[in-house]
Amino acid sequence: MIAPDPKVSKIYYAKPSITELEVRYAADAAANGWGEHGSDYINRFEKSLSEYVGTRHAVATSSATGALHLGLAALGIGPGDEVILADTNWIASVAPVVHLGATPVFVDILPDTWCLDPARVEAAITSRTKAIIAVHLYGNLCDMDKLEAIAAKHKLFLIEDAAEAVGARWGNRHAGSRGVFGFFSFHSAKTVTTGEGGALVTSDDELYEKVLTLNNHGRVRGEARQFWGSVIGYKYKMSNLQAALGCAQMERVEELVARRREIFFLYKELLADCPGLSMNPVANLEQAVTADGIAESGKLRGSAKFDETGQSFGYWMPTVIFSKESGIKKETVLANFKNANIEGRAFFSPLSLQAGFTPAHNEISYDLSLHAINLPSYHDLTAVDQNRVAQLVKEQLR
């Protein structure tokens, strides 16, 4: 393999956007956020997140994985239960299901959303099914109208994995706000970050109390006895220091989300008219926006434009898919990216192919994972660097 040219600067796939505001809040938390002020930033962060998402409650956690574990446990998911989720996924969306002793059931995705196929979800329901986890992949949105109807009909819990979807919404309804609970990741690669971190959001008061208890080693709020657990719980708390970063990021959330959209649409423009190549679904966004005369295709620079169904994606990870016919494999493309000193990311491999599971032969999930990669996207990525990435993508097609 040819070594990357050290003179060509490296383009990372992700970097956080840290301004003087984040530094100031983190320094304040380090200097003053102790004793009676030890939870100030946590409380403020939870309030700003729940207000933004539109839920009654938010619980800041150490990761999205922890938030899902708490939420599933609070719903009583356990041995003998089945939980349906998409095969195209990050392992974190299934690990807590397995830890609780429940059985994951992997179904295929839709080719035009890369999210759960509602028809296949319904076909996979058995008498043991308890929940559906709807993952809004790369900031796309699941068809929640259909999933809600299915969950209501079969009396199932519908959970939203919005780990990658901060800012994605239907009109003013945010991803994460429609399920019995939703959860976010604030890992350093995400649009909003606290370094590591996550949150569970819900409007269900009872569930919220259960989650608080479970996240405090089973200690019920208001318990008079010190160090007294009422159930065996967990501890997935976010620290006040992390929450300080989160408060600053939430003050900038619209700017952070808008920038992701701007980066996506520049890639879309640079990679337009490339036969054999497609990108994240945009659900006729350009057409709808042009139709109402707001902006022309490709000039959507960052603002939260909605498609004809009222959706606006989060565009966390711009993704290119090489057609099956092109024969181009993601491993080859990623190796070429490495040689050019550009970090690419492999499209998620189906979970059912990975250790501990049985292959489910979900055709779309299996096919997409062979030919797709995620492109670099972060707040300070320059147009010059995006051009370099786009040129390299085009070279793969020659």
Ligand X SMILES: Cc1ncc(COP(=O)(O)O)c(C=O)c1O
Given the rule CB under 6 A, which residues bind ligand X? Answer: 63-65, 90, 92-93, 135, 161, 163-164, 185, 187, 198
Select 135 or 243, whichever has its Cβ closest to ligand X: 135
Select 250 or 340, whichever has its Cβ closest to ligand X: 250
Q: How far is the CB of 346 from ligand X (least distance, A)?
A: 13
Unique residue bearing structure tokens 């796939």: 13
283 vs 288: CA distance, rounded Å: 9
214 vs 210: CA distance, rounded Å: 6
Distance from the Cα of residue 230 to its chain's centroid: 33
Q: How far is the CB of 262 from ligand X (least distance, A)?
A: 22
Q: How far is the CB of 95 from ligand X (least distance, A)?
A: 9
Q: How far is the CB of 40 from ligand X (least distance, A)?
A: 23
Residue 161's closest CA among 63, 79, 257? 63
Select 369 or 396, whichever has its Cβ closest to ligand X: 369
Q: Contact at 8 Å (CB) between 338 and 392?
A: no
Q: How far is the CB of 136 from ligand X (least distance, A)?
A: 8
Q: Return the structure tokens found at 18.
A: 């840290």
Q: How far is the CB of 163 from ligand X (least distance, A)?
A: 3
Select 174 or 187, whichever has its Cβ closest to ligand X: 187
Which residues lie closer than 8 Å to 199 by C-beta, 6 or more apart? 46, 49, 58, 59, 60, 61, 64, 67, 183, 184, 186, 238
Backbone angles phi, psi at 84, to 5 degrees: -95, 135
Select 33 or 198, whichever has its Cβ closest to ligand X: 198
Q: Contact at 8 Å (CB) between 397 and 277?
A: yes
Select 141 or 163, whichever has its Cβ closest to ligand X: 163
One-letter amino acid at 247 equals C
Q: Contact at 8 Å (CB) between 132 and 102?
A: no
Q: Return the structure tokens found at 44.
A: 């403020």
Quick check: helix, strand or coil at residue 151? helix
Active-site residues: which are they? 190
Which residues lie closer than 8 Å to 204 by C-beta, 6 or more apart? 180, 181
Q: How far is the CB of 116 from ligand X (least distance, A)?
A: 12
Q: Contact at 8 Å (CB) between 191 and 15?
A: no
Q: Return the structure tokens found at 256.
A: 């952070």
- In angstroms, what CA-CA distances link 306 with 291, 294, 309? 12, 11, 8
Which residues lie closer than 8 Å to 35 by C-beta, 6 or more apart? none
Select 118 or 182, whichever has its Cβ closest to ligand X: 182
One-letter amino acid at 115 equals C
Q: How long a stretch of residues is the chain? A: 398
